[in-house]
Amino acid sequence: MQPFTQHTGLVATLDRINVDTDQIIPKQFLKRIERTGFGQFLFFDWRYLEESQENPDFELNRPVYQGASILVAKRNFGCGSSREHAVWALADYGFRVVIAPSFADIFFNNCFKNGVLPICLEESQVEQLFRNTSDEPGYQIRVDLAAGTITDEKGLRWSFEVDSFRRQCLLDGLDDIGLTLAHADKITAYEERRG
């Protein structure tokens, strides 16, 4: 997993509450066995009209959001079924950070296991990011996980908190497999003792 220390990126906003994992990555695209290739299907039912024509009314299809790597959404993001594919789709599309007032628990945990940083902010702060993005096309913020801060070029400076274990795993780029492999010598020694 790619380490996450600091990230500066274009902000895209999704003005919807209760975005569920079936909207993030619809079930018909869950047949792939690898973690890549899901980005093209992200928000498929919202992004496309019939015959895969882009829906011009969907937020992420706006030219100003092309290349966005920070997604700001409303409360209860990632609710619904517990599909890890939802985070894979966001990451494959290019999102490194998702900001919302609240997240569904399983989705929140899956983000950390797949190198995407979910950040909970107050609803008033999320609304401020929506306004900033609307007022300034091409709006960017800098997320510093080591310092626990979000900043922009106009003086915005907010703090956010992340559980210390999850924070360290992201900083080191360690998913569950990486954490296990960090103890490979102890595992090998145990297996040799057990015969």
Nearest CA among 45, 20, 7 for reference residue 141: 7
The per-residue pLDDT for range 23-39, each reduced to its tens digit, is 999 999 998 888 899 99
Q: Does 108 score more than 80 pLDDT?
A: yes
Quote the radius of gyration of the chain (alpha carbons, Å): 18
pLDDT score, position 168: 94
- The label of the residue with tokens 């015959």 reads 51
pLDDT score, position 19: 98
Task: Calculate the alpha carbon distances from 90 to 39, 40, 114, 156, 181 in Å.
Answer: 6, 10, 10, 26, 26
pLDDT score, position 159: 98
Which one has a higher pLDDT value, 12 or 183? 12
pLDDT score, position 140: 98
Q: Does 103 score more than 80 pLDDT?
A: yes
Q: Does 178 score more than 80 pLDDT?
A: no
Question: Which domains are delineated in the chain?
Answer: 6-194 (3.20.19.10)
Degrees, nearest 5: CA angle 149-155-157: 20
- The label of the residue with tokens 């909207």 reads 23
Mean pLDDT, rounded, of the chain: 94
Tokens of 102: 């609240």
